[in-house]
Amino acid sequence: MKIAILGAMPEEIEPLLANLDAKKIDYANNEFYLAKFGAHELIIAYSKIGKVNSTLTATLMIEKFGAEKLIFTGVAGALKEGLKIGEILYATRLVQHDLDITAFGHPHGFVPGSPIFVDTDANLNEIAQRAARELGLNLKSGIIASGDQFVCDEARKAWIGAEFDASAVEMEGASVAQVCHALNVPFCVLRAISDEAGNKAEFDFDEFVVKSAKISANLALKMVELL
């Protein structure tokens, strides 16, 4: 089976590449890594930050490289109380918090022709839970909100959490969800908490991103073992 493992930043895929003998392919101003892992073929890439970049990269992983399933690994900021730096969760569904055509009477996150919330794949989520148990991780779940902004403002954090009942916020997951939904590719989104999305989140992010990304990447590889 061909499985895509996607991150948004180099730090989010470097722990994967460190354990694999991967061949690099340069394409569309990005780098894609092909590797064997057990019975599977992996396509690994980091998209670069933001919804446009992640949409392009996810589409190429599926349409050009033939990915049949997609695991998105990385980090996010916590919105709900009880989620601490270093903890990990999988998305039950994803939403774009910065999509706003409310002037026309639509709810936040709505775009014609697409659902506001895109659900992740139940089977992959079950495998994620099995993988977490084998690694001794306490895997949580929740809605993840995505937008083209790094959230480090208490008021914005509170609004996103209340409007979408979201547990975490990041900058790419919901756009990748839209791609997988449109192309009928099962996917899951794993996020390790790197910051608390409020005041001084940027300082927490810089300190904890590498450690948090490694936790999420290790979980993604364990999932591939179980597929």
CATH number, position 46: 3.40.50.1580
Query: Crossing angle, helix 10-17 and helix 201-226, to 10 degrees?
Result: 40
Q: What is residue 198's predicted lDDT score, i.e. its pLDDT?
A: 57
Q: In this structure, are residues 92 and 116 in contact, taking their beta carbons and an 8 Å threshold?
A: no
> ∠ CA(227), CA(26), CA(34), 5° rounding?
20
Is pLDDT of 204 > 80?
no
Band of residue 218 on the pLDDT scale cut at 50, 70, 90: confident
Domain that holds residue 158: 2-226
| Mean pLDDT in residue range 7-23 | 88
As given in the structure block, the two tokens for residue 227 are 């597929």
- For 153, the token pair is 């403002």
Euclidean distance between CA atoms 168 and 191, whole angstroms: 8
| Total residues found in the chain within this entry | 227
Closest CA to 9 of 92, 61, 75: 75
- CA gap 114, 82 in Å, rounded: 31
Is 195's pLDDT higher than 70?
no
Overall average pLDDT of the 165-170 stretch: 96
Nearest to 23 by CA among 32, 11, 10: 32
Residues 16-51 pLDDT 10s: 898 899 999 999 999 999 999 989 999 999 999 999
**Across the chain, what does the average pLDDT equal?**
91
Alpha helix stretches (DSSP H) within 116-172:
122-135, 154-164
Asked if residue 172 has pLDDT above 90, the reply is yes
Q: Which of 192, 186, 197, 193 is nearest to 217 (CA)?
A: 192
The pTM of the full predicted model, rounded to 2 decimals, is 0.92
Q: In the chain, what percentage of residues exceed pLDDT 90? A: 70
> Into how many domains does the chain fold?
1
Q: What is the pLDDT of residue 196?
A: 67
Give the dihedral of Cα atoms 80, 81, 86, 89; nearest 10 deg. -40
Q: How many separate helices (H) and strands (E) can be counted in the chain? A: 6, 10
Closest listed residue to residue 187, CA positions, set 128, 111, 131? 128
Let me know if 196 is exposed, middle or buried by CB neighbors in 10 A (0-12, 13-18, 19+). Answer: buried
Residue 203, pLDDT > 50, answer no
- The residues with which 144 forms a beta bridge, in sequence order, are 94, 168
Positions annotated as catalytic residues are 12, 195
pLDDT over 90 (residue 173):
yes
197 pLDDT above the threshold of 70: no
Residue range 88-105, pLDDT digits in tens: 999 999 999 999 999 999
pLDDT by residue (tens digit) across 44-88?
A: 999 999 999 999 999 999 999 999 999 999 888 999 888 888 889
Q: At 12, is the pLDDT very low, low, confident or very high (cuts 50, 70, 90)?
A: confident
CB count, 10 Å around CB of 63?
12
Which DSSP category does 151 fall into?
Answer: -
